Structure 1
Amino acid sequence: MEVLFSKYENDVEEHSNVSDALDGDDLCQREELEDEFCSYVGASYAVATSHGTSALHLAMLALDLKRGDKVVCSVNSHPNVPEVVRHFDAEPIFIDIEENYYNIDLNKLEEYLQENKSKKLKAVIVTHVAGITVDLERLYNMGKLYNVKIVEDACDALGATYNGQKIGSTGADITCFNFSSHLRENICNGGMLVTDDDEIIERARLLNNHAIVRDEDALEYIYDVVDIGNDYSMSQLDAAFIRAMVKKQDKVMQRQKEIAQIYSKELVGVDHITLPDLESVETPYSLYIIKIDKNRDSFARELKDKGVHTGLHFIPLHLISYYKTKYSLKVNAFPVALRSYQQVLSLPIYASMSDEEIKYVIDTIKEVASTRV
């Protein structure tokens, strides 16, 4: 048997929406998605983009990031986070993580903000690993206290909550979603930028399409360009598919919760494995991350040889050649992230997994673990 790490979902509604788009239906799928997404997460405004990375890049444009500016982020993030910063010739500042859920360490973040007060420090991008958040109330207070914008990277946090309120409506200046996030490839690509800020959304909408403006009374081919933007727009086909995807996200999360509970029950006590504590946090169960006490890569390789595919969230950025070289980063500079990286492994978890596939993953993990000394 082969169990993929991720598998995209599709059903009648996806096919119906895509057919409408292909048939030239007058309905603008992208505008419908933006409206429905605002309703789902509770945000005031949304801009659909071609990818999650586009949403992050557009966020930096909306914040008017410039050369020499600084943006703080977790060292345990996907490379697209510092990448969008570097495209402005700005500088990403990396912060180590906390041990339990692999998110940015707020104590270390606050220490940095206290010691580095500068007009060049523009924003903090916080990645919600596995859709589990840090103490957002404390984070937002830091943003106000140190006059930095808070951008949430919610690539695995669609439907996630903080104090019962959906991510995207909890108080960040900007939240960016990714509908085809790291190692969880979808049949389509898409991202979403959401905000409650009137000025941010006005700038984001302008720059989302080359900063083109038109006079409503002029011919449709007459336009002007008032700034430097880009083309981040989501296609109608992608929007059609993602509309259906968002509508069933709550059901998806419920099935993922069931799978996580089975993993937690059946894998408890297995030698060489540490399970995540998901009882004390709000989580969409988008990832199920275990720890392997030693030789994680050989463990993963044996699982793959037996048909079980796994993931890794993430390779710490200070181990990535570009950032390691560019900023002369030392291997031991971020000890918690380094230690976690050597052990973490993400198991398959998605709504269409069958009970048979779940059992096979569990049995295979137990089999591989039993051969370890």
Structure 2
Amino acid sequence: MRKIPYFIPDITKVERDAIANVLDNPSYDIVSELEEEFKKFIGIEYAVAALSGAAAFHLCLFAMDIKRGDKIICSVNCHPTFPEMIRHFDAEPIFIDIEEDTFFMSYEKCKETIERIGVKKLRAIIVSHTAGQAMDLEPFFALADTYNIKIIEDATMALGLMHNGIRIGSQQTFASIFNIVLDATHPVAQTGILTTHNEKLAKQAILLRYHGIVSEKTTSTTPQYLYDVVGIGNKYNVSYLDVALCLSQLRRIDYIIKRRIEIAQYYNATLKDAPHIEIPIIKSDHIFLHYIIKLDKNRDHFAKKLKECGIQVALHFVPSHLLTYYKCKYKYKISDFPIALKNYQQILSLPIYSAMQQEDVDYVCKQVLHLTNLRV
């Protein structure tokens, strides 16, 4: 029986050579090289590398001086990283239900929530490009201008994504959070990037990235060993080996995206008429970080059968109000976010990654078609 993992990283000679180069030149500042390339790639003034996407977001909130009782709006479907980091500051995540077809946070529900709760201590709205599809941010920019709140862009699933010919992360968001990761649960390598046009935010993030330490500048007469601590930071800095792998992936991102889109198009063409499932509804640019289908019933049984065929699948976007911590903390009812709940009961993510071989794609399609045709 063929074994198809949900994801494996696309490691080539480029990545291996990059690792070797770091080991041969361990004092070379490859982090600065990544930050400069990332700024040019996105079209942004400042890029601050961090340990992970989660660390980059935590660093962003730290640099914003988020305090106890502050409120930040986010999708009930966003990755647990975002409400978790908000809670680390004893601030409050305000969850918003989603659009059924795209999984994006609902603009109308976001607007209604702001009108209901007011803007006291409301610091930001986190908007998420979901599964690799571009979200239209213009309505949210208008909302932010009206109420004088900041937009933070969750671009952790959007590296290389375009929208209306513009690179995601280059618009007028206060900050964007990116993730370059070569695996999910147990990363081979990862790097987070905080990007912004705001000089004050960038300088504060750089200061806090390594314990708030400021070192004495090297001169011809003064050695660089004295330092001072001018702020209470944390250890967000990333290793050179992580950066080497992730910079290599950034340089190959166009190919990686192209291959994922090819696989998605093949899935679309092959599975479009399969009974009992719905393929992704595409309403804007999409790079298919995830390929999410919907099943009309018995999702868990279907996933079990795929696993028995050797196909590993995933379940993304468990609504936050169903997670034990938030359910208990905020006394949510299961019906509080009905669209997210309905989607959650149906969705399943099929394997899709640039290292996936065509025979593996064919095998996934064959098994999905076989199982859907057996369903009553």
TM over 0.5: yes
For the 8 Å contact 2:181–2:246, the answer to whether it is kept is no
Matches of 1:115 and 1:338, distance apart in 2: 22
Pairing 1:259–2:258 present: no
Matches of 1:185 and 1:342, distance apart in 2: 26
Aligned CA RMSD, in angstroms, stands at: 1.5
1:219 shift after superposition: 4.2
CA deviation profile, 1:33-90 (whole Å, cap 9, x unmatched) = 1111111111111011111110110111121100110111000011111000000011
Pairing 1:371–2:374 present: yes
Give the aligned partner of residue 232 of structure 2. Answer: 228
Pairing 1:344–2:347 present: yes
Matches of 1:160 and 1:62, distance apart in 2: 26
Specify every segment of 5 or more residues in structure 1 that has no aligned partner in the other structure, as ranges: none
Give the aligned partner of residue 121 of structure 2. Answer: 120
1:186 shift after superposition: 3.8
For the 8 Å contact 1:117–1:146, the answer to whether it is kept is no
Q: Secondary structure at the match of 1:94?
A: strand
Matches of 1:183 and 1:21, distance apart in 2: 23
Cα 1:186–1:250, aligned 2, differ >3 Å: closer, same or farther?
A: farther
For the 8 Å contact 1:8–1:185, the answer to whether it is kept is no
Matches within 5 A, 1:1-373: 1-180=2-181, 183=184, 186-216=187-217, 219-278=223-282, 280-373=283-376
1:211 shift after superposition: 1.0
CA deviation profile, 1:331-363 (whole Å, cap 9, x unmatched) = 000000000000011111111111100000000
Matches of 2:301 and 2:63, distance apart in 1: 44
One-letter amino acid matched to 1:248 = R
Cα 1:183–1:241, aligned 2, differ >3 Å: closer, same or farther?
A: closer
One-letter amino acid matched to 2:367 = T
1:126 shift after superposition: 1.6
For the 8 Å contact 1:213–1:226, the answer to whether it is kept is yes
For the 8 Å contact 1:69–1:91, the answer to whether it is kept is yes
For the 8 Å contact 2:125–2:152, the answer to whether it is kept is yes
1:221 shift after superposition: 2.8
The TM-score, its normalising length taken from structure 1, stands at 0.96
1:180 shift after superposition: 2.7
Q: Secondary structure at the match of 1:130?
A: coil
Matches of 1:50 and 1:150, distance apart in 2: 22
1:213 shift after superposition: 1.3
User: Identity over aligned residues, as a percent?
Assistant: 42
Matches of 2:342 and 2:318, distance apart in 1: 11
CA deviation profile, 1:137-184 (whole Å, cap 9, x unmatched) = 111121121111111111111111121111110221111112238847
Question: Which is further off, 110-119 or 239-248?
Answer: 110-119
Matches of 2:127 and 2:165, distance apart in 1: 19
For the 8 Å contact 1:78–1:182, the answer to whether it is kept is no
For the 8 Å contact 1:8–1:186, the answer to whether it is kept is no
CA deviation profile, 1:286-342 (whole Å, cap 9, x unmatched) = 111110111111111110111111112211000000000000001000000000000
1:185 shift after superposition: 5.2
Q: Secondary structure at the match of 2:335?
A: helix
One-letter amino acid matched to 1:92 = P
The TM-score, its normalising length taken from structure 2, stands at 0.96
Matches of 1:37 and 1:13, distance apart in 2: 18
Cα 1:182–1:122, aligned 2, differ >3 Å: closer, same or farther?
A: farther
1:26 shift after superposition: 4.7
For the 8 Å contact 2:311–2:364, the answer to whether it is kept is yes
Q: Secondary structure at the match of 2:332?
A: coil
CA deviation profile, 1:168-211 (whole Å, cap 9, x unmatched) = 10221111112238847541121111111111101111111111
Matches of 1:119 and 1:222, distance apart in 2: 43
One-letter amino acid matched to 1:285 = F
For the 8 Å contact 2:290–2:350, the answer to whether it is kept is yes
Matches of 1:63 and 1:79, distance apart in 2: 20
Matches of 2:186 and 2:47, distance apart in 1: 23
For the 8 Å contact 1:6–1:185, the answer to whether it is kept is no
